[in-house]
Every structure is written in structure tokens, then in C-alpha cells.
Amino acid sequence: MRIPIKLPMKVEKARAIIEDAVHERKLPKKFLKEPHRTDQAMRVGWRIIKDWVHSQLSLVLMNYAEPVEIFLPYVYDVKTNKTVFEQMLEGKLKQMALGYEEEK
């Protein structure tokens, strides 16, 4: 059985971090211009997600965790166009989510 997963790639947040890095002179000024900034944001963002997935799958291989423990928040409902986590923020588990929102 296949279960759709949607991992949280947030390009706009990555673009903002890249802009800050340019202003702090950690990256060249070319990354302020498009399409360099967006391309770099996509590469960095997906690399972080790839590394995270690799780490999580290592936990599964070591029998430290089950795939459902790790990926449940990212299970994607094609009917609602939302992940389990997004539905939790909006729905019946909103009280639990309120604690999460206050921590941000």
C-alpha cells in the first residue's frame, strides 16, 4: 500500500535566510538576484530534507523507530490537500496544537 507524504519544503524561508547570509557577507551578492537566490534556496532546502530523511531512515534500520512514528505528521490527504499535521492544527486536536503555536 502506498501512502502519500508531503515534506515541509518552505522556499520563502530559505530565500530569506540566503538574503541574510548575503548581507552578513557569508554568501556572494549574486545570490540576491533571481534566479540564483531561488535556485540556491531550493537546493539547500531539499538537501536539508534529504539529510533529515536519511537520518530518520537510519533510525528505522536500527529498529529505534517505526516509519509511521517518523512520517505520520507528513502523511498527505489528497482530498483535503493537507498533511496530518496541518489538519491537526485546524481540527479536533487544536488544543494540542495551541501549545505548539505558542512556542513559535
Burial class (CB in 10 A: 0-12, 13-18, 19+), 18: buried
- Which of the four pLDDT bands, split at 50, 70 and 90, describes residue 101? low
Q: Please report the beta strands in the chain, taking only residues with DSSP state E, as ranges in sequence order.
A: 76-77, 82-83
Bridge partners for 76 per DSSP: 83
Is the alpha carbon torsion for 23, 27, 28, 30 positive or negative?
A: negative
Give the number of other CB atoms < 10 A from CB of residue 83: 21
Instruction: Please write the tens of the pLDDT for every residue from 15-72.
Output: 999 999 999 999 999 999 999 999 999 999 999 999 999 999 999 999 999 999 999 9
Higher-scoring residue by pLDDT: 95, 78: 78
Bridge partners for 29 per DSSP: none
The pLDDT, as a whole number, for residue 90 is: 84
pTM: 0.75
